[in-house]
Amino acid sequence: MSSAGAAQRTRRERSYVLAGVLLLALGCAGRTPPVRTAQKASPPARLTWLPAESIGGRELAKAVNEHLRQVSLPGSATSVRAAVSMEVAQLAIECTEPTPSCYTAVGRSLGADEILWAELGAPGDSSHEVRVALLLYDVRGGAAPKRVERTFDSVEVARAGVSALVDRLKTRNGPR
Amino acid sequence: MNARNCPACQRELPGATLRALEQGTACPHCATRLKRTPRRAPAGASGDNDYAGFQVSHTPPVTAQPTNEESYGWFQTKGAAGAAARAAVTSPPPPARSLFPSVTAGSPLRSMPSVTGAPGPVRAEPVTTKPAQAPAAVNAAPVVTSATPPAVDKRPAAPEKRPVPLALPPPAPPVEPRRAPTLVGAGPPPGERPAPVPPTPAPPVHPPVVRSAQVEPPRAALAMTAVVPTAGATLALAAPPMAFSFRSRRNVAIAAGAAMTTLLVAIAVFHRSADRRAAISAPLATLHDTSRASAAIQPARPTEAEPSGAGARAELGAEAAAGSATAAPHAKVRTTHRATAHQRRYAKNGKRGKHARHEKRSARQTEITSRATPSSGNDGEARASYERGNALLFAGDAAGAVAAYRKAVDLAPADPIGYRGLGLAYEQQGGTAAAIRALRKYLKLAPGAADREIISRRIARLGHATSRP
């Protein structure tokens, strides 16, 4: 009686242990995946553009800001102009590095989901050439900003070519 | 109670059962476990108190095993051999305090008329030595003082008295040789013999045993031996604990393996879910999934024409205040190290999800760092005023920002950040000269600031703009 009973008991205990392990594994593995419908139902991104400062000339800065004002990205609400430039914002929050971290800090300080700004400067010793770069940064994603850049021969050429640069940025950003 | 009867059902026991009483047996009628138990006489009692009897197995354990003389001397004294033994008795007569109160020293068996012809001294003279012709065989016969039928009824105190067994010499002679002669030659009443037992041809001769109170047998060992159940039962019960130990170890091993497996599965699932979440929240992935913007969607922020709304101001102020609450002097070093480690990890790993996650963490840490960096002063109120000025500046309220920055400067004059804020706010207001003065003051107070180059360039640009018509 003892050997048969013990063997049966052993089998029963083993089955209990295996059932427990199976239940634990199922409990741990049965997590529901994130629902994508919540993402689709999220409100449109708040796009904030920061005005360019007149480093290369007031006319160029004014032209660039005009184009930035008209930028509208799919999936985003109407763009909002920030009160300060990117450099002032970075100085104020004491994060002046051109890194996604600092851009994220600026975007959060402005309450934006996406920030758009322009960087104007002279590429080299030439006093006539002007470099214009447009940058779009997703504050929520935290990835590197999308950047389109072009060097123009003069301020006048740059003023005329900013629109094409904005179109490139839209194209690079792609349909949403 | 008759010694040959079962104490439970009072039926007569067969001879085989009686012989097996030494090792313990069961009543064939009622299955009661029986064991012959020598009972110990009280201290000072003579040999006539020595008698053995049945004991049901659940009774207290036997503490001693009787010798021939102790247990069955009464039988030996009844026959011819008993007479010889009685003649050889050297011990003093038993005390009057006998097992049977009614029996006196002079006529101990007056109440036992059926006892064979030597009435008086039979029980009064304990046998301390055993005659050769009536050897040890008594041991096999489970004899009680009530061995004779008439005596059973006329000795009322015998079963209740339960005398304590006497001190016995430890080694007991072999059982088998002593068993048969006793049954045959001891001469118990013939009516109590259920079956004849063949005599043993050569009973062993035992040396005379001197009963002594000083000789103490290993009673504990005897007692333990007496309470041990039958051999079969013991062996049957011994196996399961060993098997249980083995199973227990195996079960422990199985449980440990299961726990490890579960842990690994949980870790794998957690990582998979985290990657999925990160991939979903990757940059611009959400925007790709969302539907195209429609004209009906209202802007979440004030338009360009009204950037300095009160709501926006309050929101920005709250965010700035929340961020500044975590500022601490030592947080800078720690968070900088963490951010650098995250960036290194990101450089190693090109996965999109992990990249996004690390960037997020890095952004958080850098934000904390940035808010804690130049605050050389430890005045909390000044810092709070500075953060409030930032919020107002971002909201477009340059005048309010100037007031907040000035308050920060008043609270902590040695802290340069207030002057930098003042310079930025004055610039927003259009006060170029005041902005230049404030920024220069900032550089004077913080000559090694990280943003010194930017501030210097800004001062130069403001000066150039001022000099320009």
Establish if B170 belongs to a structural domain.
Answer: yes
Quick one: tokens of B279?
């991939």
B190, B217, B244 - which closes a domain: B217
Contact across the interface for B290 and A44, Cβ inside 8 Å: yes
Establish if A23 belongs to a structural domain.
Answer: yes
Looking at residue A56, its pLDDT comes to 54
Average pLDDT per consecutive 10 residues, chain A (176 residues; last block may be shorter)? 74 86 77 60 82 76 87 79 93 92 93 90 74 90 88 86 85 58
pLDDT tens column, B119-141: 444 444 444 444 444 444 444 44
Q: Are residues A24 and A50 in the same domain?
A: no
Looking at residue A12, its pLDDT comes to 85
Residue B434: pLDDT over 60: yes
Q: Which domain holds residue B402?
A: 378-469
**How many domains are contained in chain A?**
2
Of A118, A106, A122, A113, the C-alpha closest to A155 is: A122
Establish if A85 belongs to a structural domain.
Answer: yes
Q: Are residues A72 and A131 in the same domain?
A: yes
Banded pLDDT at B109 (limits 50, 70, 90) = very low
Q: What is d(CA B230, CA B23) in angstroms, rounded to the nearest whole number?
A: 8
Q: Are residues A90 and A133 in the same domain?
A: yes
Contact across the interface for B301 and A77, Cβ inside 8 Å: yes
Looking at residue B45, its pLDDT comes to 43
Looking at residue B364, its pLDDT comes to 62
Establish if A153 belongs to a structural domain.
Answer: yes
pLDDT tens column, B356-376: 666 666 666 555 444 444 445
Looking at residue B9, its pLDDT comes to 87
Q: Are residues A52 and A18 in the same domain?
A: no
Q: Is A122 on the interface with B (CB under 8 A)?
A: no
Q: Is B363 on the interface with A (CB under 8 A)?
A: yes
Residue B73: pLDDT over 70: no
How much is the average pLDDT of B52-62? 47
B217, B239, B267 - which closes a domain: B217
Residues of A in contact with B363 (CB under 8 A): 100-101, 104-105, 142
Residues of A in contact with B243 (CB under 8 A): 6
Establish if B308 belongs to a structural domain.
Answer: no
Contact across the interface for A104 and B277, Cβ inside 8 Å: no
Establish if B185 belongs to a structural domain.
Answer: yes
Residue B112: pLDDT over 50: no
Q: Is B288 on the interface with A (CB under 8 A)?
A: yes
Contact across the interface for A141 and B427, Cβ inside 8 Å: no
**How many domains are contained in chain B?**
2
**The residue to which tokens 């005023």 are assigned:** B385
Instruction: Report B:372-401 residues touching A (Cβ under 8 A).
Output: 373-374, 390-391, 393-396
Nearest residue in A to B361, CA atom: A101
How much is the average pLDDT of B381-402? 93
Nearest chain A Cα distance for residue B224, angstroms:
26
B174, B201, B217 - which closes a domain: B217
Task: Please state the ipTM of this predicted complex.
Answer: 0.74
Residues of B in contact with A40 (CB under 8 A): 289-291
- Cβ-based neighbours of A148, under 8 Å, separated by 6 or more: A133, A134, A165, A168, A169, A172
Tell me what percent of chain B is helix, strand and coil, each rounded to the nearest 5. Answer: 55, 5, 45
Establish if B292 belongs to a structural domain.
Answer: no
Q: Are residues A142 and A63 in the same domain?
A: yes
Establish if B410 belongs to a structural domain.
Answer: yes
What does pLDDT average to over chain B?
59
**The residue to which tokens 């913007």 are assigned:** B293
Q: Are residues A135 and A157 in the same domain?
A: yes
Between these two residues, B2 and B14, which has the higher pLDDT value? B14
Establish if A40 belongs to a structural domain.
Answer: no
CATH of the domain at A125: 3.40.50
CA distance readout (Å), B375 to A92, B365, B389, B435: 12, 16, 15, 20
Looking at residue A23, its pLDDT comes to 85
CATH of the domain at B432: 1.25.40.10
Establish if B322 belongs to a structural domain.
Answer: no
Q: Which domain holds residue A25?
A: 2-31
Q: Are residues A17 and A84 in the same domain?
A: no
Establish if B307 belongs to a structural domain.
Answer: no
For the beta carbon of residue B383, count every other beta carbon within 10 angstroms.
23
Residue B325: pLDDT over 90: no
Looking at residue B362, its pLDDT comes to 64
Contact across the interface for A83 and B428, Cβ inside 8 Å: yes
Establish if A126 belongs to a structural domain.
Answer: yes
Instruction: Report A:11-40 residues touching B (Cβ under 8 A).
Output: 13-14, 17, 20-21, 24-25, 28-29, 31, 33-34, 36, 39-40
Q: What is d(CA A18, CA A23) in angstroms, rounded to the nearest whole number?
A: 9
For B414, phi and psi rounded to 5 degrees?
A: -85, -10
Establish if B412 belongs to a structural domain.
Answer: yes
